[in-house]
Structure 1
Amino acid sequence: MKYRSVFDIIGPVMIGPSSSHTAGAARIGRIARSLFGRQPKWADISFYGSFAKTYRGHGTDVAIVGGLLDFDTFDERIINSVKIAKAAGMKIKFTEEDAVTDHPNTVRITTGDEKSELELVGISIGGGKVEIIELNGFELKLSGHHPAILVVHDDRFGAIAAVSKILAKHEINIGHMEVSRKEKGKQALMTIEVDQNIDDKVLKEVEQLQNITQVTKIVD
């Protein structure tokens, strides 16, 4: 496991009690909010493993909802996030799952509104660090600690090279990149973590490429 600074080892500035169960959960919720692009109208939140056993006592439930409301890990409103969400008209459902997962701190969030919905699976790996391991059925590995773009595209020759060429033209360095597909020749997903935030005009260039379906930005 790699850390960028001593503060990643100590843990983030946060509303307690646990960096794994609270800060990490808030970050997963906030990534879901960022990927969805707006405040959702509803959220079904399923906890697995240790999360399922201790989420009430450790505040994992309020942390996830706080993230969906775009609250940072240190935002004191997290404590009352469920009440705030309900007051805003967001419907929340929590489920304790019995299924065994690869990581004990696992949560599946399905969220949406009348226009669209999103489903992701995230894990809290310690010290407030997280990974998103599944998005709308695509396997991926997204830390949420770096600026990133997610590119849904048709699984065609040259699609990856075309996106990389645009990033190179704008002198944007790729720190990590993965490609996932559900089936050969169908849709695929590029997960690209970069060294700096990407301007919207660059995203528009990517969106205009042949075989590109959707482009989403995550800001560090």
Structure 2
Amino acid sequence: MKFNSVFDIIGPVMIGPSSSHTAGAVRIGKAARTLFGKRPTWAKIHLYGSFAKTYKGHGTDVAIIGGLLGFDTDDTRIGKALEMAAETGMNVQFVQDEASTDHPNTARIKLGNEDESFELVGISIGGGKVEITELNGFELHLSGNHPAILVMHNDRFGAIASVTQILAKHEINIGHMEVSRKDVGKDALMIMELDQNVSDKIEKELAVANHILQIAKIVD
């Protein structure tokens, strides 16, 4: 097995007993918060496999909520995340789901506010690393360990080119890219993991490109 860093072996700097059940859970929660774009007023979290069996003992519950509050893996407030969420008015519910999944450390996070809702599926693959495998019904493979942009767009010719041309103009390299759609001619989701963060200025430029509906980004 190839490791890129010593942290791939010992895991990240973190609060909690388990890089998979705690640090990974924080990152899944934070990815949901980042992609939703704001603090939710409610969250319903389905836990599967070993997440469901040991989530209280390993702190998976406080870790996910800490992520939803925007905390990093080493934030000392994680242990009080449930109380802090309640203080902000966030209504939180955990479900120990018995459905089978491809990975034992799987969480489905449904969240929202009075106006909109959002759904994300994430898995913790060890060492604090995660993958996002579903977003609002779109299948994807997003590591969450690199800067990334997620682009909702019309399924039309030229949509992908309009984004890649802007990134090329600003000398931003794409490390991984995939496109998912639910049906021909409907909305599609473009995911790009990048070698560097996208500035707010570039994000605004992407948002008005041809056939683009919505932009979200994950920064390193």
Matches within 5 A, 1:138-149: 138-149=138-149
In structure 2, list runs of 5 or more residues that go unmatched. none
**1:128 maps to which residue?**
128
Q: 1:34-70 deviations in whole A, cap 9, x for unaligned?
A: 1111111110000011111111111100000000001
**1:217 maps to which residue?**
217
Distance 1:71 1:51 in 2: 20
How much identity, in percent, do the aligned residues show? 69
Distance 2:191 2:66 in 1: 25
Distance 1:3 1:61 in 2: 29
Distance 2:164 2:48 in 1: 37
3-state SS in 2 of match to 1:100: coil
**1:208 maps to which residue?**
208
Amino acid in structure 1 at the alignment position of 2:200: D
Distance 1:4 1:114 in 2: 43
Deviation at residue 121 of structure 1 after TM alignment: 0.1
3-state SS in 2 of match to 1:70: coil
Matches within 5 A, 1:136-175: 136-175=136-175
Amino acid in structure 1 at the alignment position of 2:16: G
| Moved segments of 4+, more than 4 Å | none
Deviation at residue 163 of structure 1 after TM alignment: 0.6
Distance 1:62 1:191 in 2: 29
Amino acid in structure 2 at the alignment position of 1:74: D
Task: Tell me how large the CA RMSD over aligned residues is.
Answer: 1.0
Q: How many residues align?
A: 220
**1:29 maps to which residue?**
29
Distance 2:2 2:153 in 1: 30
Distance 1:71 1:81 in 2: 9
**1:193 maps to which residue?**
193
Deviation at residue 4 of structure 1 after TM alignment: 3.1
Q: Normalized against structure 2, the TM-score is what?
A: 0.98
In structure 1, list runs of 5 or more residues that go unmatched. none
Amino acid in structure 2 at the alignment position of 1:31: A
Q: Normalized against structure 1, the TM-score is what?
A: 0.98
- Asked if 1 retains the 8 angstrom alpha-carbon contact of 2:27 and 2:64, the reply is yes
3-state SS in 2 of match to 1:56: coil
Deviation at residue 3 of structure 1 after TM alignment: 4.2
Deviation at residue 217 of structure 1 after TM alignment: 1.0
**2:38 maps to which residue?**
38
Deviation at residue 211 of structure 1 after TM alignment: 1.1
**2:19 maps to which residue?**
19
Distance 1:55 1:81 in 2: 14
Say which is worse superposed, 140-149 or 120-129, in terms of deviation: 140-149
Deviation at residue 11 of structure 1 after TM alignment: 0.3
Amino acid in structure 2 at the alignment position of 1:193: E
Deviation at residue 115 of structure 1 after TM alignment: 2.4
Deviation at residue 2 of structure 1 after TM alignment: 5.9
